[in-house]
């Protein structure tokens, strides 16, 4: 990354969409201008935030046949933000302009403990794990390479956690129960001495 361990936010009109899905009407945007912006975001290791509440941010405000709408206004952040805060980009009202206003809401991740994601070896015992991971990874996404990677990883993580609970249950509760059962058996051995039934347990 170009700016390691630093938090960056850039809100502005970039004057070009990132993909063909970000424009409706008019002539197609040149691939050269789109690729320049994509390469810049990827090379700096940044994340283009989803816009909530609207698909496009600029319009020529003309009649149906001549109407052009484009997503030009963006919020781009460095990945360091995702460890400490939730960042949301909201579409606001269009007031006296051909651009929508956009608002960035930053909510610190307080009051909850963040646990690092760990791949559990026991998951490999499940026959459907490989097919499931492949399905979750192949989520349909657009936009920049770093955005697609972050989206795919987030999709695998959220789905594998739900799958884990359905397939294995709450392993921490199971572990605690097994530990209690083991303590009970060990107490019985201390109390009654050798007993074949207790020893089998």
> For the whole model, what pTM was predicted?
0.53
| pLDDT tens digits for range 137-189 | 887 766 677 777 887 888 888 888 888 888 887 777 888 888 888 888 878 87
Check residue 86 and give its pLDDT. 80
Euclidean distance between the first and the last CA atom of the chain, given in angstroms as a whole number: 55
Give yes or no for a contact between 195 and 189, defined as CB atoms under 8 angstroms apart.
yes
3-state secondary structure 167-188: HHCCHHHHHHHHHHHHHHHHHH
pLDDT band at 113 (very low <50, low <70, confident <90, very high): low
Dihedral over Cα of 55, 31, 45, 136: its sign: positive
Which residue ranges form the domains of the chain, and what is each CATH number? 1-114 (3.60.10.10)
- Phi, psi values for residue 137, rounded to 5°: -70, -35
Please give the radius of gyration of the chain, using alpha carbons only, rounded to the nearest integer: 26
Give the Cα separation of 189 and 122 in Å (integer).
31
> What is residue 22's three-state secondary structure?
helix
118 token code pair: 């760990």
Place of tokens 């206004």: 73
Distances (CA, A) of 55 to 52, 90, 148: 8, 11, 18
């Amino acid at each position: 990354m170009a700016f390691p361990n630093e938090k960056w936010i850039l809100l502005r009109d970039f004057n070009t969409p990132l993909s063909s899905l970000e424009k409706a009407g008019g002539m197609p945007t040149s691939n050269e201008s789109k690729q320049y912006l994509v390469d810049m975001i990827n090379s700096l290791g940044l994340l283009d935030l989803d816009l909530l509440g609207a698909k496009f941010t600029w319009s020529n405000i003309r009649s149906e046949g001549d109407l052009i709408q484009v997503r030009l206004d963006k919020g781009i952040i460095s990945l360091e933000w995702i460890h400490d805060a939730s960042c949301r980009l909201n579409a606001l009202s269009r007031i006296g302009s051909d651009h929508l206003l956009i608002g960035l809401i930053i909510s610190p991740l307080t009051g909850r403990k963040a646990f690092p994601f760990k791949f559990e070896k026991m998951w490999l015992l499940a026959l459907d794990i490989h097919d499931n991971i492949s399905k979750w990874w192949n989520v349909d996404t657009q936009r920049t390479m770093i955005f697609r990677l972050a989206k795919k990883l987030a999709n695998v993580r959220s789905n594998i956690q739900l799958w884990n609970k359905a397939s294995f249950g709450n392993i921490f509760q199971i572990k605690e129960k097994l530990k209690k059962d083991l303590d009970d058996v060990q107490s019985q051995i201390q109390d009654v001495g050798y007993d074949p039934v207790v020893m089998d347990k």
